[in-house]
């Protein structure tokens, strides 16, 4: 899943307030140290600024809950998310690596499953739910049931820290994200109120062949965990997670990948969100983008202007005939990352080829290929559309966001990697994709610090966000994977990310 993120340091005043609280909480911190701490932990800054309790003790308490090392690595994305291992009542019982079980030496360890089970050991029946609720399998081919899932997510799914924006996955993107080749109806699991039959909770999984370094796992990808706001904090999430685990296990799947904005035991990698304004004025109006001190709206608008035309020779929309070439190029490109999915031709078609049967306003994914003079596909780049609702705004109801998806280029694939040449090529591709984003009326272009994104994010005027995306593996112990940011949560250009897996 994606995490709602906005440009960090949006509000100067908030930051000032947070800085004051930090100063009061920890004696002797210099201004520079306070600024550094807040830069590292944008969400902590938000929490300190928004906290209604203004006593120095409450800020100090928020800080004490954080492990200093986690603060310094930016892992402590938000005070409210960080707990001692013992406080993870549910996760402490699951086959996931624990905080504190640090490596004895710095040598990499042997990677592999944490718990070995067979299908025979798995219960054929779900655990009972509390009175008044029942399990339901959702048939997303049925438009009524698809709409029910859409409605639940539309009202109750992920929001940013300040509850200004909430993801609004369209029915079409839900179908795209939850029904790739090999999808299973049983893995679209919900909870209904027994009397009204209203859908009040949901969780989904899809199959994925996930390579982690040299091993390929027959795994699932879990997403769209959502509980109606009125049923929160009742320990229903662990029940849903156990149920999807059971359903995956019954299909012989014992490992999973999932992502989230909150800190759980224990991320295998952490990436940071970056945002590139396209319609700066609208982003400013809705409170997404700040007006930096010493700037004026017209300067910002000029800064984020996008050219009308693309510049890469041979760039065109991907067509059905390109599937094999794109699959081949993508497979070779993803081989450089520590973690990536493997894609067959059907998956490439599903994830990358725009389905022409969709109405233009329902388009989910845009993919452009570069065809050279010998009709060879040398590059491609793709992005998908995910809108966010603007909560309680008098003028605007939504933000249309494009998310950078997969890309690949022949540059640097054969022979020694020429980072400079790769940087130039990726900048050209991303700059051209930005032209299309503008043409298709996107307000903002979002990307993570994964893949080789560090090579172009700053050049293409993507700014750091306050959101982080933690990658987790279920029942698999793996050595850490670089997330593309350094210990201070800034782009790490020396050590690019090892993550080659994007999440919807």
Selection from 88, 49, 101, 41 nearest residue 66 by Cα: 41
Helices (H), 251-316: 280-285, 297-303
Residue range at the interface with ligand MYA (CB under 6 A); choices 32-40, 98-106, 143-151, 230-238: 230-238
211: tokens are: 């390579």
Distance, in Å, from the CA atom of 263 to the CA atom of 240, rounded to the nearest integer, reads 19
For residue 21, the cross-strand partners are none
241 is a contact residue toward ligand MYA (CB under 6 A)? yes
Q: Is the dihedral of CA 236, 242, 245, 246 positive or negative?
A: negative
288 is a contact residue toward ligand MYA (CB under 6 A)? no
Residue 100 C-beta: closest distance to ligand MYA, Å = 15
CA distances from 72 to 50, 66, 78, 201, 463 (A): 22, 10, 13, 36, 21
Distance, in Å, from the CA atom of 389 to the CA atom of 397, rounded to the nearest integer, reads 6
Beta carbon nearer to ligand MYA, 322 or 466? 466
89 is a contact residue toward ligand MYA (CB under 6 A)? yes
296: tokens are: 């004026």
Selection from 264, 66, 286 nearest residue 162 by Cα: 286
Query: Among 34, 173, 191, 227, which residue sits at the site for ligand MYA (rule: CB under 6 A)?
Result: 227
Residue 131 C-beta: closest distance to ligand MYA, Å = 17
Instruction: Annotate each residue in 260-279 with x if it binds ligand MYA (CB under 6 A) or - if it does not, as one string.
Output: x-x-x---------------
Beta carbon nearer to ligand MYA, 157 or 406? 157
Instruction: Annotate each residue in 17-56 with x if it binds ligand MYA (CB under 6 A) or - if it does not, as one string.
Output: ----------------------------------------
218 is a contact residue toward ligand MYA (CB under 6 A)? no
Beta carbon nearer to ligand MYA, 235 or 375? 235
474 is a contact residue toward ligand MYA (CB under 6 A)? yes
Instruction: Quickly tell me which residue has 């396209």 as its tokens.
Output: 278
Helices (H), 26-75: 31-40, 42-50, 56-64, 68-73
Selection from 317, 309, 341 nearest residue 431 by Cα: 309
Q: Please confirm, yes or no, whether 504 is among the known catalytic residues.
A: yes
Choosing from 71, 212, 244, 504, the catalytic residue is 504
Selection from 337, 351, 343 nearest residue 451 by Cα: 337
Beta carbon nearer to ligand MYA, 205 or 429? 205
Count, residues in the chain = 504
Query: Among 118, 144, 233, 392, which residue sits at the site for ligand MYA (rule: CB under 6 A)?
Result: 233
Query: Among 172, 245, 367, 460, which residue sits at the site for ligand MYA (rule: CB under 6 A)?
Result: 245
CB 217 within 8 A of CB 252: no
Residue 92 C-beta: closest distance to ligand MYA, Å = 6
Beta carbon nearer to ligand MYA, 225 or 283? 225
Residue range at the interface with ligand MYA (CB under 6 A); choices 251-259, 268-276, 403-411, 445-453: 251-259
95 is a contact residue toward ligand MYA (CB under 6 A)? no
Residue 472 C-beta: closest distance to ligand MYA, Å = 7
DSSP label at residue 281: H
1 is a contact residue toward ligand MYA (CB under 6 A)? yes
Indicate the helix (H) or strand (E) that contains 227.
strand 215-227
157 is a contact residue toward ligand MYA (CB under 6 A)? yes
370: tokens are: 């570069």
435: tokens are: 């032209």
Q: Which residues of this chain interact with ligand MYA, rule CB under 6 A?
A: 1, 88-91, 156-158, 220, 222-227, 232-238, 241, 244-245, 248, 253-256, 258, 260, 262, 264, 474-475
Return the active site residues: 504
């Amino acid at each position: 899943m994606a995490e709602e993120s906005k440009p960090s340091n949006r509000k100067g005043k908030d930051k000032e307030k947070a800085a004051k609280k930090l100063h009061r909480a920890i004696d002797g911190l210099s201004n520079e140290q306070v600024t550094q701490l807040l830069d590292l932990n944008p969400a902590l800054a938000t929490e300190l600024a928004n906290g209604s309790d203004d006593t120095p003790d409450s800020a100090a308490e928020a800080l004490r809950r954080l492990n200093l090392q986690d603060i310094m690595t930016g892992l402590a994305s938000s005070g409210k998310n960080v707990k001692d291992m013992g406080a993870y009542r549910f996760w402490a019982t699951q086959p996931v690596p624990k905080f504190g079980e640090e490596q004895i030496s710095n040598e990499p360890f042997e990677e592999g499953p944490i718990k070995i089970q067979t299908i025979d050991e798995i219960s054929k029946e779900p655990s009972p739910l509390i009175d008044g609720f029942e399990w339901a399998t959702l048939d997303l081919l049925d438009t009524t049931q698809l709409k029910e899932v859409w409605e639940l997510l539309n009202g109750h799914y992920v929001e940013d820290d300040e509850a200004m924006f909430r993801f609004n996955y369209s029915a079409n993107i839900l179908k795209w994200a939850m029904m790739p080749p090999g999808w299973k109806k049983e893995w679209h699991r919900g909870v209904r109120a027994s009397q009204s039959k209203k859908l009040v909770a949901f969780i989904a999984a899809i199959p994925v062949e996930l390579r982690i370094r040299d091993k390929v796992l027959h795994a699932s990808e879990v997403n769209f965990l959502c509980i109606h706001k009125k049923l929160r904090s009742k320990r229903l999430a662990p029940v849903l997670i156990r149920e999807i685990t059971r359903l995956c296990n019954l299909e012989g799947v014992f490992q999973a990948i999932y992502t989230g904005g909150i800190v759980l035991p224990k991320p295998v990698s952490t990436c940071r969100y970056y945002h590139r304004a396209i319609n700066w004025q609208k982003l400013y109006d809705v409170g997404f983008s700040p007006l930096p001190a010493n700037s004026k709206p017209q300067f910002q608008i000029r800064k984020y202007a996008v050219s009308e035309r693309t510049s890469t020779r041979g760039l065109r929309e991907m067509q059905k005939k390109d599937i094999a070439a794109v699959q081949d190029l993508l497979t070779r490109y993803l081989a450089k990352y520590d973690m990536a999915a493997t894609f067959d031709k059907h998956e490439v078609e599903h994830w990358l080829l725009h389905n022409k049967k969709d109405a233009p306003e329902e388009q989910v994914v845009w993919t452009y290929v570069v065809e050279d003079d010998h009709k060879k596909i040398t590059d491609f780049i793709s992005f998908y559309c995910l809108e966010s609702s603007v909560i309680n705004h008098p003028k605007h109801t939504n933000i249309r966001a494009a998310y950078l998806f997969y890309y690949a280029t022949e540059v640097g694939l054969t022979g020694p990697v020429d980072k400079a040449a790769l940087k130039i090529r990726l900048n050209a591709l991303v700059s051209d994709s930005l032209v299309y984003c503008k043409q298709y009326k996107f307000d903002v272009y979002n990307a993570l610090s994964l893949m080789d994104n560090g090579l172009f994010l700053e050049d293409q005027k993507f700014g750091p966000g306050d959101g982080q995306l933690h990658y987790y593996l279920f029942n698999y112990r793996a050595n850490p994977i670089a997330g593309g940011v350094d210990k201070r949560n800034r782009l790490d250009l020396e050590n690019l990310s090892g993550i080659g897996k994007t999440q919807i």
